[in-house]
Amino acid sequence: MKPLRTLIKLYLNSIFRFPVIRYSKDPRERRNAIMGVVAIGIIVTVYGGMAGMTSLQMISAGIDPAVPFLMIAAMASMFALAMAFAQGSATLSGFADFDTLMGMPIKTGTIVFARFFALYSVEALYCTAYLLPCGVVYAILCTPVWWFYPAFLVMLLLLPVAPVVIGSGADLLISAAFAGSRHRKGITSAIKMILLLGFIVFAYMLPRLSERFMSAPDETAGVISRIYPPAQWFAEGVTGNVLLAILFVSGSAAVCALFILLLNRTFLPLHDRLSAGYHVKNYRLGTLKRSSAAKALFLIERKRFFNSTAWVINTIFGSILIVVFGVAAAVMSNTVTQFLRQASLERFAPAIVTAALIFCATLSPTTCCAISMEGKEIWISKTLPVPAKLWLRAKLLLNLVLVGPALLIAITLLAVFYAGLFSPPAIAGLYLLPLSALLFTTVFGLFVNAKLPRFSWKSDTEVVKQSSPVLVMLGVCFGLMAVTTVPMLIFGSPWVSVAIAAAVFAASAAVYGSLMKNAEQIRGNL
């Protein structure tokens, strides 16, 4: 049991980085770890508040308490499934310390269980944030029997088990199936992107689903129960159905045990297959391609980006969302224009559209983790016989190439289909303001990552999802939306957007000048 406790402690510490916060003497490392914990705390608080308010509204309206439990349990399970699918294979089987662990006198089953528990614990945290406020609301308003409290706690902890098993198992199967393919990363990234888009669509439809729950709770609950029966077992089990509570607990425990047993039996061959790279058969050396240093650095950066599924999903999704927003707005232009005119909101249209474009274009620039993604290979970039300016420019160019074309397509569609709502100065601002915001977040994201790099990571998810620069840039995204759209709403003049765009361009130039001036010093201090 001691090796198991030690491994679980190590894996949880690597996720939440508590030892770094407590013992690290490097202020930068401590700051990064603290900001990561703060980010998790913010997400948990927001999720809990939304779920608690939804539960309070439904129970106060006289709806059966099992209905909000069913709805929120299904939503939490879907979130856990999506997250487990996004990082299941990397957490369970693909890790850097494999050779070290397997050389120790530790059973394979111990390693498997410890890594599964690490993956489960993160999803359990978010599921608890979803459902604990619902349990509190139910306990206050409905005064359940005494055994509700221990039963609810046990069932709450077991809720993410089935989604984690399904999500991580599907990820492992897909990764193993395409492990020998040359386009493995692209295929798995595309599949995960489709799932993520489905989750976003579900989140977008959630307010409508809530309204439908309020109007026809029994009908909607029946649909969810047929799609995912464990959510019904959970909901009715915590509200008094003992048989379904026992079925949920025993079923979750059995699924968990079976998955760990199966993973233990296939762990070594599965790891070997996932770790194997693609090898070209009958390889023959032909002509070697040559390119300039700037182009070569950009190609290296592009390859590093597409080799990271988490990084691709985190960034490409914004570009896809921009195009989807532009196409959807163009298709619905007549309906939207009519609605804005009937509601006398024409003057606010430029500000609303600009805010949406800025949000999609600046939410997650690649530059905020471009330096950190080099990891332990950073020494290669530090010893390259090329100017540091070219090295930094390659990272800046990658984000502009990924997001810029999508942004231009969406802006052009909006400018064409909503020409009646935009004056010529407003159209100029529609182009200049989102593009200036994209340029600013691109250069500022690299500036922040240079100040807050993180190279000691075992999974790229730690950099893409949990690092301090990502949290900082999330705040910058919302700050840019406020700084750019609030003056447009207050003053109403289309020239305001042009003036703000000029100011943002000037700020981008200043940050870019600082990066280029101190490029060698930045690279040398990493």
Domain match, 403 and 264 both = no
Q: Where are the beta strands (DSSP E) in 365-474?
A: none
| Domain assignment of residue 282, yes or no | no
CA-to-CA distance for 217 and 281, rounded, in angstroms? 59
| Domain assignment of residue 497, yes or no | yes
Domain match, 304 and 357 both = yes
Q: Where in the sequence is the domain holding 67, given as residue range(s)?
A: 2-275
Cα torsion 164, 168, 170, 175 to 10°: value is 170
Residues in the chain: 526
Domain match, 326 and 449 both = yes
Domain match, 190 and 300 both = no
Q: Which residues contact 62 (CB under 8 A, 6 or more apart)?
A: none
| Domain assignment of residue 285, yes or no | no
Over its C-alpha atoms, the chain yields an Rg (Å, rounded) of: 25
| Domain assignment of residue 218, yes or no | yes
Q: How many domains does the chain have?
A: 2
pLDDT of residue 114: 81
pLDDT of residue 88: 66
Domain match, 271 and 330 both = no
| Domain assignment of residue 287, yes or no | no
Cα torsion 35, 398, 457, 110 to 10°: value is 110
Buried b (16+ CB within 10 A) or exposed e, 427-464: bbbbbbbbbbbbbbbbbbbbbbbbebbbeebbbbbbbb
pTM: 0.61
Domain match, 258 and 158 both = yes
End of a domain among 246, 275, 304?
Answer: 275
Domain match, 170 and 309 both = no
Domain match, 16 and 46 both = yes
Domain match, 166 and 221 both = yes
Residue (of 101, 117, 78) closest to 260 by Cα position: 117
DSSP letter for each residue of 107-137: -HHHHHHHHHHHHHHHHHHHHHHHHHHHHHH
Exposed/middle/buried for residue 31 (C-beta within 10 Å: 0-12, 13-18, 19+): middle
Cβ atoms 455, 372 nearer than 8 A: yes
Residue by residue, pLDDT tens for the chain (526 residues) are 677 777 777 777 776 777 777 777 777 667 767 776 776 777 777 777 777 787 787 777 777 787 788 888 888 888 788 777 777 666 666 555 666 666 677 777 787 788 888 888 888 888 888 888 888 888 888 888 888 888 888 888 888 888 888 888 887 777 777 766 666 666 776 776 676 666 666 655 555 555 555 556 566 667 777 778 888 888 888 888 888 888 988 988 898 889 888 888 887 777 767 666 545 555 565 665 667 888 888 888 888 888 777 787 777 777 777 887 788 777 777 777 777 677 666 677 777 788 888 888 888 888 888 888 888 788 888 887 888 888 889 999 998 988 888 888 888 888 887 777 777 887 888 888 889 999 999 999 899 888 888 787 776 777 777 677 887 888 888 888 888 888 877 776 778 888 888 899 999 999 999 988 888 888 888 7
| Domain assignment of residue 92, yes or no | yes
pLDDT of residue 443: 92
CA-to-CA distance for 48 and 75, rounded, in angstroms? 12
**Distance from the first to the final alpha carbon of the chain:** 40
Q: Which residues contact 12 (CB under 8 A, 6 or more apart)?
A: 118, 121
| Domain assignment of residue 280, yes or no | no
pLDDT of residue 193: 67
Domain match, 347 and 212 both = no
Domain match, 256 and 303 both = no
CA-to-CA distance for 168 and 178, rounded, in angstroms? 16
Cβ atoms 68, 134 nearer than 8 A: yes
Domain match, 367 and 425 both = yes
Exposed/middle/buried for residue 367 (C-beta within 10 Å: 0-12, 13-18, 19+): buried
| Domain assignment of residue 73, yes or no | yes
End of a domain among 244, 275, 306?
Answer: 275
End of a domain among 240, 275, 310?
Answer: 275
